[in-house]
Amino acid sequence: MHNLKQNAKQLIHPLVAIVLGLLAGAAAILVVGGSVTETFAEMWKGAFGNFYFFTNTLARSTPIILVGLGVAVAFRAGFLNMGSEGQMLLGALAASLTAIYMPGPVWIKIPVIFAVGMIVGGLYSAFASWLDTRFRMNLIITTLLLNYIAQYLTGYLVSYPFKDTTGSAALAQTQMVDKSLWLDKLFKGMSVHTGFIIAIAATLILYVFMKYTVSGYEIRSLGSNPRFAAYGGVKRGRLMLFSMLLSGAFAGLAGTVEVLGTQYRFLDGALSAPNYAFTGIMAAMLASSNPIGTALAAVLLAALQTGGMGVERNTDVPLEISSVIQAVLILFVTARISYSFIKRRKGGAASGSVS
Q: Spell out the alpha helix ranges (H) of the chain.
A: 2-31, 36-48, 51-76, 84-101, 106-135, 139-159, 194-212, 214-224, 226-231, 236-258, 276-286, 291-314, 320-350
Query: Does some domain include residue 117?
Result: yes
Angle formed by the axes of helices 320-350 and 36-48, nearest 10°: 90
Instruction: Give the pLDDT score at 4.
Output: 56
pTM for this one?
Answer: 0.93
The rounded distance, in Å, linking the Cα atoms of 279 and 297 is 10
Q: What is the DSSP string of 162-184?
A: T---SSS----B-PPPPGGGSPP
Instruction: Give the pLDDT score at 348.
Output: 45
Query: Is-contact 58 201, C-beta < 8 A?
Result: no
Query: Does some domain include residue 2?
Result: no
Query: Is-contact 210 291, C-beta < 8 A?
Result: yes
Query: Does some domain include residue 4?
Result: no
The rounded distance, in Å, linking the Cα atoms of 116 and 14 is 35
Task: For residue range 186-235, list pLDDT tens digits in order.
Answer: 999 999 999 999 999 999 999 999 999 999 999 999 988 888 888 888 88
Query: Does some domain include residue 262?
Result: yes
Query: Residue 172's domain spans which residues?
Result: 50-320
Could you tell me which residues come within 8 angstroms of residue 200 by beta carbon, excluding any fewer than 6 positions away?
A: 65, 295
Query: Is-contact 110 185, C-beta < 8 A?
Result: no
The rounded distance, in Å, linking the Cα atoms of 226 and 218 is 10
Query: Does some domain include residue 287?
Result: yes
Ranges of residues in the chain with a pLDDT under 50 are: 347-355
Domain count, the chain: 1
Instruction: Give the pLDDT score at 314.
Output: 86
Question: Rounded to the nearest 5 degrees, what angle is found at the Cα of 237, between the Cα atoms of 232 and 240?
Answer: 95
E strands along 159-242, which residues?
none
Query: Does some domain include residue 74?
Result: yes
Query: Does some domain include residue 44?
Result: no
The rounded distance, in Å, linking the Cα atoms of 10 and 19 is 15
Task: For residue range 242-278, list pLDDT tens digits in order.
Answer: 999 999 999 999 999 999 999 999 999 999 999 999 9
Query: Does some domain include residue 59?
Result: yes
Burial category of 312 from C-beta neighbours within 10 Å (exposed 0-12, middle 13-18, buried 19 and up): middle
The rounded distance, in Å, linking the Cα atoms of 331 and 320 is 16
The rounded distance, in Å, linking the Cα atoms of 295 and 306 is 16
Q: How many residues does the chain have?
A: 355
The rounded distance, in Å, linking the Cα atoms of 248 and 223 is 18
Q: Spell out the alpha helix ranges (H) of 102-138.
A: 106-135
Query: Is-contact 302 57, C-beta < 8 A?
Result: yes
